Amino acid sequence: MEINETRSKINETRKKINARLGVVTPEIEQQYLAYTGKISVAAAVLLLMSVAQEFLGDKGSVMYWVLGCTMLSGVILVLLLSIKSIKFYRYTNRLGFWSLKFQDEYADYVSASSLRITCHIMMFGGFQLAILGDSQWFLEFLMPVGLTDALLALLGVAMLTHGVLILWKLREEDAGE
């Protein structure tokens, strides 16, 4: 019992020292990854709602306003998450801030597997749009939205997939302590 208490105290002290020294711990990496997942989902909602609004066209309808409110919520959420993620800026040099590559194996596995699927979606969708983009029948098929909106929708789906996969794999479960 005493050994466990001593061990817990040592770990707590170690965490405090790490926080003071700005050491990137596995927990910080996972928190940062979870933030990127949340920002991806919020940004995806923003993009998809803007395309849906374009598709709907009728600016006087209730649905148009509902989509507008959802978009506004998305903007606020992205801003809030971005402000909250400022705490990670001090780790920019060491954390996989832009590369999304992490020291913690599980965080890196989650990041890599979600990026892999996102990349496939972008490549497949981008290829389709690049091949069909100039065809008149395709542009008519897309009406009332344009090629730019189709690209925004593709980006939205890719970002949504990225975010949802990260949040799903980092979800809290019964850990079997």
Partner 1 sequence: MNEELDNHIHKLRQQHKLSQQELADAIGVSRKTISTVETGRFTPSVVIALKIAAHFNVPVEQVFALK
Residues within window 80-139 making contact with partner 1, judged by CB under 8 A: 104-107, 109
Regarding 2 and contact with partner 1 (CB under 8 A), the answer is: no
Q: What is the DSSP letter of 117?
A: H
Least distance from C-beta 69 to partner 1, angstroms? 35
For 62-98, letters b (16+ CB in 10 Å) and e give eeeeebeebbeebeebbeebeeeeeebeebeeebbee
Which residue from 6, 9, 14, 75 is in contact with partner 1, where contact means CB under 8 A? 14
Least distance from C-beta 93 to partner 1, angstroms? 20
Nearer to partner 1, 22 or 57 (CB): 22
Least distance from C-beta 8 to partner 1, angstroms? 7
Number of shown-chain residues binding partner 1 (CB under 8 A): 19
Instruction: Report whether 61 contacts 138 (CB < 8 A).
Output: no
Interacting residue ranges for partner 1, rule: CB under 8 A: 4, 7-8, 11, 14, 26-27, 29-30, 104-107, 109, 170, 173, 175-177
